[in-house]
Amino acid sequence: MFDFSNVTIWFDALLRQTLGLGDFWSILIECILVGVLILAGYAILAICLIFMERKVCAYFQCRLGPMRVGPWGIFQVFADVLKMLIKEIFTVDKADKLLYFVAPFLVIIASVGTFSFLPWNNGAEVLNFNVGVFLLTAVSSIGVVGIFLAGWASNNKYSVVSAMRGAVQLISYEMSLGLCLITAVILTGTMQVSGIVEAQVGPWNWLIFKGHVPAIIAFLVFLVAGNAEANRGPFDLAEAESELTAGYHTEYSGMGFGFYYLAEYLNLFVVSGIATTVFLGGWAPVNIGIEGFDGIMNLIPGIVWFLGKTFAVVWLLMWVRWTFPRLRIDQILKLEWKYLMPLCLINLVLMTIIVAFGWHF
């Protein structure tokens, strides 16, 4: 498996030794390059996910989806981006101007920050701290503030109701998400994201295989809670169009609305990427203990494995969205506090017992 850290070490040596740049300029250039790559990947994935969502939705509804702009409608998303960029940005007269403009940036910052924790390949992690799981959950929770401020600052009754729904839902399901991640941390013995992936390298070593039933339960609960965190159907109560117009971003236009639109789709990718990283081996290839087969699988780049697994989970979550009807707010909270939360606590204790007695693979 190719180690991408060899490339980063070579580039750092090129700046410091070959070009003779000092520490300050070398670090500055590296940070700018990493930032550009993150934003470029963020934008490209958003375009792919929007197009994928439209085609998957059309497939489940027995239609073709966008077909007019470009072959198979592949340029429709670019046309929509251009339209979004030239839309007039208006403000609400009685809105809280400061909070109104800050809210979209908080949502996009939380989305990009969480996106930066994803390990794309062996040695290709942007943010890789020894308490990475803790920081991941902390950064992702910033988005709740942006959603609540958007509804509150808009001075719109529909937006306020949507903001309260969104805040209650996101705060509630963060509990289950955190417990599922702690379950994986107990099994792997590390909070470092790269360490969690490295613990899954080897034949049948993914956490859903390695951790028996508790790992499978944690994975399934993580998908449900992650879907709710991303405000995706059937948990899209904050954006219930039939009740609340467009929800917390009713009063936004142009790129103010565009930020929320981008964050929704990238949060879907982030949730799927975290599920892949923690439970499905991340960039680790499929190994089954047969030397010839494993050798061929190891030739496939890690980023291909990561993207393939992640988009498979994305497709699964899209399938759920276009299959199940929207839940009521009381049903959503009942599902979390009466079922998922107790299940996660029991599952956490069970995983601790399995690890303590060494019953895992």
Q: Which domain holds residue 277?
A: 84-357
- Alpha helices by DSSP H, the chain: 5-13, 23-60, 76-86, 97-115, 132-140, 142-153, 157-188, 193-198, 207-210, 212-229, 241-244, 254-279, 291-299, 302-321, 329-334, 341-357
* Length reported for the chain: 361
Assigned domain for 168 exists: yes
Q: For residue 106, what are the CA distances in angstroms to 157, 209, 300?
A: 22, 37, 37
Report, in angstroms and rounded to the nearest whole number, the Rg of the chain calculated over CA atoms: 21
Of 285, 129, 283, residue with least CA distance to 202: 285
Assigned domain for 326 exists: yes
Q: What is the pLDDT of residue 55?
A: 92
Assigned domain for 26 exists: no
Assigned domain for 61 exists: no
Assigned domain for 170 exists: yes
Q: What is the pLDDT of residue 252?
A: 84
Assigned domain for 123 exists: yes
Of 250, 319, 358, 291, residue with least CA distance to 52: 319
> What is the mean pLDDT, run by run of 10 residues, along the chain of 361 residues?
83 87 88 92 91 91 88 89 83 82 90 91 86 89 87 84 86 92 92 91 87 90 92 80 74 83 89 94 88 87 93 94 87 92 94 86 65
Residues 121, 283 contacting (CB under 8 angstroms): yes
Assigned domain for 240 exists: yes
Alpha carbon 280 to its chain centroid, in Å, reads 15
Please give the Cα distance from 233 to 229 (Å, whole number): 11
Please give the Cα distance from 227 to 275 (Å, whole number): 11
Assigned domain for 24 exists: no
How many separate domains does the chain show?
A: 1
Angle at CA 221, nearest 5°, toward 216 and 226? 125
| Residues 6 or more apart in contact with residue 112 via CB below 8 angstroms | 38, 39, 42, 266
Q: What is the pLDDT of residue 361?
A: 65
